[in-house]
Chains A and B, each alone.
Chain A
């Protein structure tokens, strides 16, 4: 699909022609961007999660606490570096390095913008590209697993080993779902190179003989792929709710329990760089890459020069926000549920979806039909059918609960006569199910609190008399 929207769109032939100092500038630039994004993402995460939990978040270092990660980084660098007595020394030392290097390497094929001019040299805003660009990202994430697995093994203690084993199984499983979700994008874009995938999203699919311009983003054209990708990368990057390799309540810190100082900082860095990379890959594959989103794309200059950097990082930050949102919202899954979800839901869905997409592509090409027409005439009814089927199935599955709830609401259901004594104090269980205390009030937000005199003159706070254990 050679839809070249403008001469600014780089093609594969444009790569590998740069002067050495341009390459050097790009390498240093990508490194700097990734480190800066990591520092930003940590503060951003803490601020957003704090906001979601009615707290203020870090507010001591720098303006409104936004330099907190710098202070944290310095603190980590000056902490004592511990080598556990039972550690396998060379592997223990290498593991954080192995985790970090592929994380940075993967970003080399992410297109940040169109062809621009750097000190008079025309060059694409992308370090390099290859006919198999996206596979390089997958290969790097495959190598990144080693860092975590080896860290867990080399620490010579139980919790890290369990964390390492978990992460090995988890990342290999979710990498399959992630790879399968991308296949549909390859089918549509006709290429595996990141710059050409961005180019393929430049022009929307023509609807009904090219009279209108449909959406071009693969997130819209291939919604199932997009959803699977988003879920799979959360598992792949070990982020909540899939952060089982470092589940605090079960494994202390998981694979990095025994690490301290800069080695721990490297793991931290690798995790956040991975997050940025998969967010950037999501933007590239599904959200139109560096191309301006819809209302802005009416402006002719939106996709030229250095402006696309802004759109690109806007999309990356939006994707990062989703990561943080998930962490602030969802509880951690149980390990067997998590694996069952990956293998029995995500992978089969991705396979069936690839089959559907390939069939539709072939049929439309053989019959000489418009891609958009096929999507509207065949795709939309099938999607509606599937959604309706899922709705009916879920209603049927919850039938007993629903009927029981209705009967209970009508007062028909009396709690069964139990042989055991009723629990003391506030009722915590009704019919065997835990219920939350119903008489609680939400405390006022600290941000809304007005400044009141604190001390002898302040009225004594009202205390709850009946304190439960």
Chain B
């Protein structure tokens, strides 16, 4: 604020704060501009451009136009450049500019012309502004930056303002018209219809069970197991021969039961295995447990 006040008060000369800000951030803005041109990677270029725009926003604030500065940051840096980045990111991150010259001497010509153009514009601007005495906003910003801009925008520049908004709306609508794909309503089943169909046509409304994970096998060919130990056919992948999982020798409770120590109890008894279903040599009531 002190910088702001100084900038608004000192008609005719640069305030100290303003000068410091300018000489610190000016090179940053310039570096951003050079980086935009010189970066090989498109996203890096965009980031350098963001730096320059950010610095411009700060410059507006320092020169007594805080509203303009905030709008510069919100609209240009925050929205426009983000959309720009969005597109660049979709292009792919390894897409760098090609360094192969398709036209002979193209790069040299571009450099010469670019430097020449920059020199012309720079010299023109420098000559036009060399005798200009800097003036503070003074009386013209008496009501504040927001009111000043609003008054100008909605009185003197109303036509330009409305025409610009019409142009932007046309562009947005045009983009939508070009990108929109008309689809017959009902040509694709909705999520609700798909859900109903899943529930009505089978006993698997959810995703199918995955393959089993065992001590000696964890490939997708190894079937998962149902709670009674039998392999689950639903877990088999299509096009893959189901693998027979080799079993470790049975130990623990089942072994104890085999030794005639059933009275000592065991994990199967404790777990309340479904009676009768696991008797017999069905694989895996002890180890190779279901997932």
Hey, which bits of chain A sit against chain B, CB under 8 A?
15-17, 88, 91, 128-132, 135-136, 138-139, 142-143, 145-146, 149-150, 152-153, 156, 161, 164-165, 168-169, 172, 175, 179, 192, 418, 420-421, 423-425, 428-429, 432-434, 463, 465, 467, 469
Q: When A131-B67, A149-B82, A161-B89 are in contact, do A16 and B199 touch as well, CB less than 8 Å?
A: no
Kindly report which residue of chain A lies nearest to residue B1, judged by CB atoms: A16
Contact among B5, B43, B77, B200 with A143 in the assembled complex (CB-CB below 8 Å): B77
Contact among B1, B78, B196 with A145 in the assembled complex (CB-CB below 8 Å): B78
Q: When A132-B66, A132-B70 are in contact, do A139 and B78 touch as well, CB less than 8 Å?
A: yes
- Of B24-32, B116-124, B201-209, the stretch lying at the interface with chain A is B201-209
Chain A positions within 8 Å of B199 at CB level: 428-429, 432-434
Starting from the known contacts A130-B1, A423-B202, A432-B197, 5 additional A-B residue pairs (CB-CB under 8 Å) come to A91-B43, A153-B43, A153-B89, A168-B82, A429-B205
Whole-angstrom CA separation of A128 from B1 in the bound complex: 8
Task: Indicate if B227 sits at the interface (CB-CB under 8 A).
Answer: yes
The winner among B43, B44, B203, B226 for most chain A CB atoms within 10 A is B203
Interface digits, B99-124 against A, CB 8 Å rule (1 contact, 0 not)? 00000000000000000000000000
Whole-angstrom CA separation of A179 from B74 in the bound complex: 10
Q: When A16-B5, A433-B196, A434-B199 are in contact, do A142 and B144 touch as well, CB less than 8 Å?
A: no
Contact among B70, B83, B195 with A135 in the assembled complex (CB-CB below 8 Å): B70
Chain B positions within 8 Å of A428 at CB level: 199, 205
Contact A132 B67 (CB under 8 A): yes
Whole-angstrom CA separation of A138 from B274 in the bound complex: 63
Expressed in whole angstroms, the minimum distance between the Cβ of B28 and any Cβ of chain A is: 15
Chain B positions within 8 Å of A149 at CB level: 82, 85-86, 89
Closest 5 CB pairs of A and B: A142-B78, A16-B1, A135-B70, A429-B199, A432-B196
Expressed in whole angstroms, the minimum distance between the Cβ of A143 and any Cβ of chain B is: 7
Contact B74 A139 (CB under 8 A): yes
Whole-angstrom CA separation of A191 from B66 in the bound complex: 14
Contact among B44, B82, B196, B197 with A172 in the assembled complex (CB-CB below 8 Å): B82
Kindly report which residue of chain A lies nearest to residue B228, judged by CB atoms: A467
Hey, which bits of chain B sit against chain A, CB under 8 A?
1-2, 4-5, 41, 43-44, 47, 50, 54, 57, 66-67, 70-71, 73-74, 77-79, 82-83, 85-86, 89-90, 93, 144-146, 195-197, 199-203, 205, 209, 226-227, 271-272, 274
Chain B positions within 8 Å of A433 at CB level: 196, 199
Kindly report which residue of chain B lies nearest to residue A17, judged by CB atoms: B2
Chain B positions within 8 Å of A91 at CB level: 43-44, 47
Contact A169 B66 (CB under 8 A): no
Expressed in whole angstroms, the minimum distance between the Cβ of B151 and any Cβ of chain A is: 15
Chain B positions within 8 Å of A179 at CB level: 74
Whole-angstrom CA separation of A322 from B236 in the bound complex: 46
Contact B89 A165 (CB under 8 A): yes
Chain A positions within 8 Å of B90 at CB level: 165
Contact B50 A146 (CB under 8 A): yes
Contact B43 A420 (CB under 8 A): no
Chain A positions within 8 Å of B54 at CB level: 143
Expressed in whole angstroms, the minimum distance between the Cβ of A264 and any Cβ of chain B is: 21
Kindly report which residue of chain A lies nearest to residue B44, judged by CB atoms: A91
Whole-angstrom CA separation of A467 from B229 in the bound complex: 13
Whole-angstrom CA separation of A276 from B203 in the bound complex: 47
Chain B positions within 8 Å of A432 at CB level: 196-197, 199-200
Kindly report which residue of chain A lies nearest to residue B71, judged by CB atoms: A135
Contact B78 A175 (CB under 8 A): yes
Whole-angstrom CA separation of A403 from B41 in the bound complex: 61
Chain A positions within 8 Å of B272 at CB level: 463, 465
Kindly report which residue of chain B lies nearest to residue A86, judged by CB atoms: B93
Contact B73 A143 (CB under 8 A): yes
Chain B positions within 8 Å of A143 at CB level: 54, 73, 77-78
Contact B70 A164 (CB under 8 A): no
Contact B205 A168 (CB under 8 A): no
Whole-angstrom CA separation of A15 from B70 in the bound complex: 19
Whole-angstrom CA separation of A428 from B200 in the bound complex: 10
Contact A130 B66 (CB under 8 A): yes
The winner among A16, A164, A432 for most chain B CB atoms within 10 A is A432
Whole-angstrom CA separation of A142 from B53 in the bound complex: 13
Contact B205 A131 (CB under 8 A): no
Whole-angstrom CA separation of A128 from B205 in the bound complex: 58
Whole-angstrom CA separation of A195 from B201 in the bound complex: 63
Chain B positions within 8 Å of A131 at CB level: 66-67, 144-146
Kindly report which residue of chain B lies nearest to residue A464, judged by CB atoms: B272
Whole-angstrom CA separation of A205 from B1 in the bound complex: 31
Could you list some 9 contacts between A and B, CB below 8 A? A130-B66, A142-B73, A150-B85, A152-B89, A153-B93, A168-B85, A418-B200, A425-B203, A432-B199
